Amino acid sequence: MEIDDSRPSTVDPEVRAYVYSLVTALGGSSAELDGRYVLGDDALAVLKDLRRWLKHVDEKLNRFDVARSMAEANLLRGDLLQILASFPENIPEGGLKFKVALACLDLMVTLTWPLDIDDAQMTVGHHRHTPYLQLAQAGYKRAILGHDTTQILRTIVQITIPSMAQPRNERNTRDEDIIRLALYFFRNVVQIAHPADLPMDGEEAEISRSATIDTFADQDIFPFLLTIASSMGSEFVQQDVITLEILFHLLRGINPAKLFMEEQQLAKSNTKDFRDLLQKEKSMLSEYARHAPTRHNRFGAMVWVKRADNRMSTVSGQDVLGNSQRTLNKMDKSKKWNKPKQRSRKTGDDGAEFDVETPLSPSARNHLRSFIEDFLDSSFNPLFVQLRKAIEREADRVLKSHTSQFFYLISWFLKAECARREKKSAKSKGKTVAEEDEGFSLVASVLNQETFILLNRFMQSGVDNKMNIDVNAGMKCFTQILLTIQQMAESSNEDDQDIADNIQNRIFYEESTHDRIIRLVRSYKDQGFGYLDACTELAHVFIRMLEHYSKQNADLQIRSKRRARRKKKEKRKEKQANSGEDGNQEEDPQEDSEEEEEQDALQTTKERKFDFMRFSARFVNENCINTFIAFTKFYHELDAQQLKRAHRFFYRAAFKLEQSVLLFRADIIRLFHRMIEGPNGLDRQHASFKEWKELVKNVLRKLIKKVEERPELIVEILFSKMSPTLYYLQHGYDREVPKSV
Amino acid sequence: PTDGDDGLGIDREVPIGERKRRQPIAKLDSTLLTGPKGIPKLRSIAKKQLKFRGKGHEFSDTARLLNMYQLWLDELFPKAKFEDGLVMVEKLGHSKSVQSARKQWIDEERYGTSA
């Protein structure tokens, strides 16, 4: 006891004493029965007391003291799991054991509950206990997944089965609560991960995603989830968002394309990744070797650079000998001052939620793949229809984060479905094509107008409220929908083609969608790489599909709002011109507003012909180029596909739309030049190196020509171009503005 | 010893001069940029020294162009690295005074040098 007293009191000693005594009273291993666990006399009451402590101290007073004491007392591992393990397989419902098991589950759910609290509500106690509790939760998860005698998760499912077996209208609140508890428990177990800011101790493999998936498969949790998800909307209603959360935490960060690769194919792709990495390292080393000193480091060469006005600069080191370019680079490098950067407001895990890739072990991949296949076949449509309705209705159980998780999962499953189709078609190519595939009906529930409307609204509100995570999820979802539709249009099934055509027409019909995408690309400003990747991909896919579609449908109409407004102005002008001289201006405003109302009603029905050139020209402006430049700056980390995306954009800007002047800016030129010529350039073996070299060469050729033609560019290269002079710089003469009378 | 001094001059007061303040480093702002060391100088450098080799030498020509900017910027504002300097200059380009100067330069090239 003395030791306890000398410890700094992290927890109120009285609270700790109470909790410890309760934990002791719960039970213990018996000396008589070979050390088996024996319940205390009043175990049920003790469990209820513990629950009360958590509720009335921790929750009410906004503290973590009780939770911490319980973690220190090893309650979950030493008692709760032992109790569950000591019960026989099928616990009869209603008995004492059933009640005890339920109370254990209840406690476990509370103890494993996610610890994120709003920053504003964090107290000193929270800050003090959170790291400890995070580690404790990781320990809980390890104990639950790796319990040696009993399958804890399966036991939990068994507790819920009687409640689930009842038809929905005969279930009472208690049954619903039990189902909910079990689902929350699984959500918590999936969601717990090794705290990112604490050092790894080698044991995190036991609680990794792979381990979780393996355990889920072993203990038949996947069939349980499928049961609930497939009868979502009929037998189960309230459980939709928890299921969503479980799926989200289970699937986020996993690459669906890799999931559906064949073993061999995956091995090949892994080998390829490895080879790429080796290649990258090799080129890095050779890059270094090219510039490395050939003699020892105290050889002490010194070089001077003669500059204008007979001034000199000196640079030391033999690596700069004989190459003026390197000398200049070194001069620059040796400067100590760095421009102070504006720290962007840290919003915690911006994008980390979606964009960190999680690797899987082979066995976990197989388990997860079969689950995903079953899920797509049976549960995708019912679950996502139900979720969409719940979100639309703004049901109480739907939290803010659920909507973005919803859209993230849509994009994930669409990608998975595409990967599966590809795999299937690759397989059936060798054999006969007799096997009629079921079309896209398996994912049809998210390819309807209702979803598009919801998605549009969601993205718009995300943009308006600057919710980066929301926008990120929305963009990913929209991109994936577009890609799916593209696949549909290319499928051999005529119905699919018709549907795809119809959907495309509807998507491209709204001018507001076009505007939003342009706005998303334009408004990028340090939202993180995941966001950047998502918005450039969306722009790329959208432009490409729209181009394709508008070529096929020459008279594509879009619904536009601006047109109507302009007309209104003209009309007003006319009116004023007509009535202005009469002097009865008091009447005018009234009439005007009436007119406006009329026009507002008209506005929505205005249609005009779509002009792709004009649309794509709107992408070519300083902001969009900045976004793509920011993206290209990551060229070392980008894969071939991503580099291609940037390449297409710049190609379109510089040559198809002939706005190369916008690229003539010193930082862009420097980036392009460095990518090809180094130092630290793009790897020459890279798949898209050739393309890029060609592009950069052409841009630079244009640049040199233009600079020779128009010496004023020497100055203008330093700056963003001013809109009045832009046209002149590009063409050499002013734009002829049609003068309106 | 004449006046009780020990001859070492320990007791004598040493006048402590005002510590010289360092001359402040000129900031990179629009006056510096449009001043004689700034863009006017860049223009004259470019006229005098910049020669291109033309087609087939895109990369070396560009390197020459970039080096010119780098040396000019180093002269103008030695503190900053090239990349940082470029960003700072670009930012200054949005200010009113620099913009009007830019317009003037463009017009000069366009309609022949005006006095």
* pLDDT 10s digits, A544-563: 998 888 888 777 777 776 54
Decide if pLDDT at A2 tops 60.
no
Mean pLDDT computed over A226-252: 91
User: What are the pLDDT digits (tens) for A263-302?
Assistant: 777 788 888 888 888 888 888 888 888 777 788 888 888 8
- Per-residue pLDDT, averaged over A531-552, amounts to 91
Looking at residue A581, its pLDDT comes to 44
State the Cα–Cα distance between residues A684 and A644, nearest whole angstrom: 15
Task: Please report the pLDDT score of residue A535 as a whole number.
Answer: 92
pLDDT over 70 (residue A444): yes
pLDDT of A349 > 60? The answer is no
Average pLDDT over chain A, rounded to an integer: 83
- Of A169-183, A419-433, A471-485, the range with the lowest mean pLDDT is A419-433
Cα–Cα distance measured from residue A366 to residue A206, given in angstroms and rounded to the nearest whole number:
18
Return the residue of B nearest to A665 by Cα: B90
Whether A50 has a pLDDT exceeding 90, the answer reads yes
**Is B50–A714 a contact, with Cβ atoms under 8 angstroms apart?**
yes
Measured between beta carbons, which residues in chain B are less than 8 angstroms from residue A718? Answer: 39, 69, 86, 89-90, 93
What is the average per-residue pLDDT within A21-40?
A: 85
pTM metric for this prediction: 0.84
DSSP-assigned letter for residue A345 = P
User: 3-state class of A114 per DSSP?
Assistant: coil
| Calpha distance A691→A639 (Å, rounded) | 14
Residue A52 CB-half CA count within 13 A: 8
Contact yes or no for B59 and A669 at CB 8 A: no
**pLDDT for the residue A561:** 64
Contacts of residue A587, defined as CB under 8 A and 6 or more positions apart, other chains included, come to A579
From the list A333, A701, A720, which residue is nearest B58 (CB)?
A701
Question: Which residues of chain A are within 8 Å of residue B75 when distances are taken between CB atoms?
Answer: 307-308
Nearest to B93 among A333, A338, A720 (CB): A720
Q: Which of A631, A371, A434, A598 is nearest to A525 (CA)?
A: A631
Structure tokens at A733: 């003469």
Which of A719, A721, A734 is most worth mutating to test chain B (most B CB atoms within 10 A of its CB)?
Answer: A719
Round to whole Å and give the CA distance between A175 and A593: 59
| Residue in A closest to B45 by C-alpha | A308
pLDDT of residue A526: 80
Give the per-residue pLDDT at A582: 44
Of A308, A331, A715, the CB nearest to B102: A715
Q: Do B105 and A669 touch (CB under 8 A)?
A: no
CA distance A308 to chain B (A): 9
The residues facing A558 across adjacent strands are A608
pLDDT tier at A57, thresholds 50, 70, 90: confident
Categorize the per-residue pLDDT at A104 as very low, low, confident or very high, splitting at 50, 70 and 90.
Answer: very high
pLDDT attached to residue B55: 77
Q: From CA A49, how far away is CA A41, in angstroms rounded?
A: 14
From A331, which residue of chain B is nearest by alpha-carbon distance? B81
More confident: A699 or A560: A699
Q: How far apart are CA A565 and CA A596, in angstroms?
A: 9
pLDDT bin (cut points 50, 70, 90) of residue A566 is: low
Answer yes or no: is pLDDT of A741 > 50: no
Task: Identify the closest residue of chain B to A710 by CA–CA distance.
Answer: B109
What is residue A597's predicted lDDT score, i.e. its pLDDT? Answer: 53
Interface size, chain A vs chain B, as Cβ–Cβ contacts under 8 Å: 122
Q: Which residue of A has its CA nearest to B74?
A: A332
- A328 to chain B: which residues are within 8 Å by CB? 67, 70-71
Contact A712 B90 (CB under 8 A): no
Residue A109 pLDDT > 50, yes or no?
A: yes
Question: Would you state the pLDDT for residue A131?
Answer: 85
In a mutagenesis test of the B interface, which of A324, A718, A726 is the best target, namely the one with the most B β-carbons within 10 Å? A718
pLDDT at A594: 53
- Report the distance separating Cα A290 and Cα A161, nearest Å: 69
Higher-scoring residue by pLDDT: A360, A323:
A360
Q: Do A711 and B52 touch (CB under 8 A)?
A: no
- Partners of B89 on chain A (C-beta within 8 Å) are 718-719
Strand partners, A557: A609
What local confidence, expressed as pLDDT, does residue A250 receive? Answer: 92
Give the residue among B47, B54, B73, B59 at the shortest CA–CA distance from A325. B59
Q: Provide the 3-class DSSP secondary structure of residue A597.
A: helix
pLDDT at A350 over 90: no
Which amino acid is located at B47 in the chain?
K
- The pairing of strands A311-316 and A557-559 is unpaired
- The confidence score (pLDDT) of residue A567 equals 54
Please state, in angstroms and as integers, the Cα–Cα distance from residue A569 to each residue in A349, A566, A585, A592, following that order: 47, 5, 17, 10
CB–CB contact B86 A667 (8 Å): yes
For residue A633, pLDDT over 80 is answered with yes
- What are the b/e assignments for B68-94, b being 16+ CB within 10 Å? bbbbbbbbbbebbbbbbbbbbbeebbe
Judged against a pLDDT cut of 90, whether residue A688 lies above it is answered with no
Total length of chain A: 741
| Percentage of residues in chain A having pLDDT higher than 90 | 31
- The candidate with the shortest Cα–Cα distance to A205, out of A151, A138, A252, is A138
Across the interface, of B50, B61, B105, the residue whose CB is closest to A712 is B105
Q: Which residues of A touch B64 (CB under 8 A)?
A: none
Q: In sequence order, which residues have a C-beta less than 8 Å from that of residue A360 and are 6 or more positions away? A: A209, A210, A213, A254, A259, A368
Q: Which residues of A touch B (CB under 8 A)?
A: 307-308, 313, 324-325, 328, 331-333, 335, 337-339, 665-667, 669-670, 673, 676-677, 697, 700-701, 703-704, 707-708, 710-712, 714-720, 722, 724-725, 728-729
- The mean pLDDT of A13-33, rounded to a whole number, is 88
CA distance A184 to chain B (A): 51
> Cβ of B63 and A325 within 8 Å?
yes
ipTM score of complex: 0.83
Q: Is the model's pLDDT at A344 over the cut of 90?
A: no
Record: contact B102-A716, CB cut-off 8 A? yes
Reference A216, options A366, A18, A425, A4; nearest CA is A366
**Cα distances (Å, whole numbers) of residue B74 to A66, A643, B5, B38, B57:** 62, 33, 56, 11, 26
**Minimal CA separation from A353 to chain B, in Å:** 32
Q: Residue A580's pLDDT is what?
A: 45
The pLDDT of residue A492 is above 70: yes
pLDDT number for residue A664: 92
Q: What is the dihedral of CA A576, A582, A587, A589, to 10 degrees?
A: 20
Report the run of H or E that residue B81 belongs to, with start and end: none
Confidence of residue A120 (pLDDT cuts 50, 70, 90): confident
Q: In the predicted model, what is the mean pLDDT of residues A71-75?
A: 90
Which residue positions in chain B have pLDDT lower than 70? 1-7, 113-115
Mark yes or no for CB contact B69/A325 under 8 Å. no
pLDDT (mean) for A624-632: 93
Chain A closest CA to B9's CA: distance in Å? 44
Distance in Å, alpha carbon of B106 to nearest chain A alpha carbon:
5
The pLDDT tens digits of the residues spanning A498-531 come to 888 888 888 888 888 888 999 999 988 888 888 8
**Chain B residues closer than 8 Å to A333 by CB:** 81
